[in-house]
Amino acid sequence: MGREKASDKNHRIFYIVLTVIALAAMLARCFFSVITTDEVFNLGEAYRTVLGQKFMVENWDFFQVGDSLNYPFIWLFYKITGSSEGIVIYSRICSVFITFIFALLTYKLLKPIFGKTNSFATCLIYFTVVPKTIFGYWYDTWSLSFMLLSFALIIFAMNKDKPLPWLILAGVCQAISVYAYPTAVFVFIYEFIVLFIVMNKDKKKIGFKKPELAYALGAAAVFAVFVIFCLTRDWQNFFIFNKDITSSGLSNRTAARSNELLFVRHIISDFFHYYRSILICSVGFAVLCIAVKRLRLSNIWIAVYTALASAFIYIYIFRKSIEVFPGSKSQNLLNVFLFFSICGFILYITFFLKEKRFKNMFLFLYIPSMLAGLVWAFTGLDKSINIPLGSRSASILFLAEFFELMSQVKFKKPKIKNFAVLAMCFMLVFNILSIYCQGFFSTVPAVALKNSLAISSAESGVFKYIYDKEETVYSLECFEKKLKTFIKDDDKTVLFGRGMMYGYLMTDLKPNTNYLWRSGALTGKSTDPEYYDILFKYFDSYYGSPDLIVLKKDEFELTNKKFVDFLNQNYDLAEEDSGVVFYRLKQH
């Protein structure tokens, strides 16, 4: 008895040590890599709301809803500091602890079903990988995190005699997921239907006429809160009710499609183009699993193959990133997890088809996660590239199955140590790769290292304490300092060019209109005379012409005759500095 208590204590200490290592690794990772696109864009959404830009009224962006979940954290930061200096590192550190909370809750829900060791190792690996290596939380990650928590609550409820409160909580979490990413409603519908079929088949009555209504009740509660919130605000002026805005093309940012059949074909062709290496490795994995079962080979071969295939996929996609995923080396880790997700299905039908706990995970976590991958592909701006992001939670089935198979291998040392060491290795490798693949470099890292590019951290500004290429850090610090000296006390509004979304975090001037640079600019449509009408309409509606306009010299805006005429008639070229031009509104 004494030995068992001592062993449990040692195991507990070991878990704590691994958790501390994971947190330390993720916190260390926060201090590397300046990201001037999605991260600052999503931070800017909440930051502008804190500064007083009216939610859903003065903000005409479809992404603001999910990003509003960042509001409490940004509000607290601004309340304490009174500025945006250091806001990026603050948001990253917050995201680590938010991730830790989601990981802890998921672990607590899975532990009674899959065991302490299996659940711990699974959550440790899963929550170590940051989607797209963007460290902060934004609409995608908020939605996916609450979605996974909802899945875990349903699986937990399926093993309880009184599942009512857990199903209500699952509905609440799924509704928040839909709030953050509205098209996730398809996942909610799927879960509702499967709950109706499975729980009624098992005759689990919970005081309601139908048990799935408990799930719907939780979702309805969140919906009711949102409706009340809207009714107490200026809801009549919400931008979604303005036909001129919704028909302006802004909805293209959420991939509205005119030809759905053509789009489906595009998704399929993209999938086979982008994920060819994953499909090849998955076929090999299927053959191996059949061989292991039929020939009664050691399960350790599955672990060896998984490690080798993951390394191959990572290296292949990293080396082919310009060809396969233009401009992105951060897709590698998500693609490894997509490989895990496909392997999870193969393991399920090969080894775990008759086990109830894995069946529940397959029905209530795996299938809806893969469905989410399709939803993200159909309604995301990057189409098929979003499949690994949306389906990321499906990899949990594989991890749970993988560690279950490894527990059947007869190691000489205690199972706990083998599990924990393996999980720690995965976790540390993923952290290192996250730093590397996002990197400090806009070119291939090997070339950058060969040229001995200096690395330094920002000493001031929104990117304070973050390490990157010295030239990147220096240019952003200089730009922010120049911007602050250029702004006058009576300036109230600003407009930054489409590629300068970080500027909205560097000043307290209103509003944030980055989303009004229509996505057509990416395809050269910015020369269209009507291209900027929605931008002009916005300022005419609320603020009048912006006091300042800041553009890069090579921006698309300066190729549009209508926009250039607008500048020449209403603005003076105040200053040019390092490829950036500053315009000030003429005094009439």
Q: Which amino acid is at 571?
A: Y
Phi/psi of residue 168, nearest 5 degrees:
-65, -45
- Does residue 389 sit in the same domain as residue 480? no
- Residue 179 inside a domain? The answer is no
d(Cα 164, Cα 206) in Å, to the nearest integer? 6
- Does residue 401 sit in the same domain as residue 475? no
Q: Are 305 and 291 in contact (CB under 8 A)?
A: no
- Does residue 396 sit in the same domain as residue 274? yes
- Does residue 402 sit in the same domain as residue 476? no
- How far, rounded to the nearest angstrom, does the alpha carbon of residue 365 sit from its chain's CA centroid? 18
Q: How many CB atoms lie within 10 A of CB 412?
A: 5
The per-residue DSSP string of 374-406 comes to HHHHHHSTTGGGGHHHHTGGGHHHHHHHHHHHH
- Does residue 473 sit in the same domain as residue 560? yes
Which of the listed residues 363, 385, 408 is the one where a domain comes to its end?
Answer: 408
- Does residue 400 sit in the same domain as residue 484? no
- Residue 120 inside a domain? The answer is no
- Residue 419 inside a domain? The answer is no
d(Cα 196, Cα 210) in Å, to the nearest integer? 7
d(Cα 508, Cα 587) in Å, to the nearest integer? 22
- Does residue 402 sit in the same domain as residue 496? no
- Does residue 507 sit in the same domain as residue 403? no
Q: Could you list the pLDDT tens digit for every one of the 588 residues in the chain?
A: 555 565 667 778 878 888 888 888 888 888 888 888 888 888 988 998 898 888 888 888 778 888 999 999 999 999 999 999 999 999 999 999 999 999 999 999 999 999 988 898 888 888 887 666 567 788 999 999 999 999 999 999 988 878 889 999 999 999 999 999 999 999 999 999 998 888 777 655 444 556 778 899 999 999 999 889 888 887 777 877 777 676 665 545 444 344 455 556 666 666 666 788 888 999 999 999 999 999 999 898 998 899 889 888 877 776 665 454 544 455 667 888 899 999 999 999 999 998 999 999 999 999 999 999 988 888 776 667 788 888 999 999 999 999 899 888 876 665 555 565 666 666 666 666 665 555 444 433 444 444 455 678 888 899 999 988 888 888 899 899 989 888 888 899 899 887 788 999 999 888 887 777 654 443 445 445 566 777 778 888 888 889 999 988 876 667 677 788 888 888 988 887 778 889 999 886
Which two tokens mark 221? 């509660």
182: which strand partners?
none
Q: What pTM does this model have?
A: 0.89
Q: Are 195 and 215 in contact (CB under 8 A)?
A: yes
Which of the listed residues 408, 443, 459 is the one where a domain comes to its end?
Answer: 408
Which of the listed residues 361, 381, 408 is the one where a domain comes to its end?
Answer: 408
Instruction: Give how many domains the chain has, as a whole number.
Output: 2
- Residue 351 inside a domain? The answer is yes
- Residue 164 inside a domain? The answer is no
Containing 468, the helix (H) or strand (E) segment is strand 467-469
- Does residue 272 sit in the same domain as residue 377? yes
- Residue 281 inside a domain? The answer is yes
The per-residue DSSP string of 275-326 comes to THHHHHHHHHHHHHHHHHHHHT--THHHHHHHHHHHHHHHHHHHHTHHHHST
Q: Which of 336, 403, 418 is nearest to 122 (CA)?
A: 403
Preceding peptide of 414 cis, ω within 30°: no
- Residue 327 inside a domain? The answer is yes
Phi/psi of residue 552, nearest 5 degrees:
-80, 150
Q: Which domain holds residue 509?
A: 469-585
Phi/psi of residue 469, nearest 5 degrees:
-55, 140
d(Cα 34, Cα 48) in Å, to the nearest integer? 21
Q: What is the 3-state secondary structure (H, E, C) of 473-496?
A: HHHHHHHHHHHHHHCCCCCCEEEE
- How far, rounded to the nearest angstrom, does the alpha carbon of residue 450 sit from its chain's CA centroid? 32
Q: How many CB atoms lie within 10 A of CB 16?
A: 10
- Residue 360 inside a domain? The answer is yes
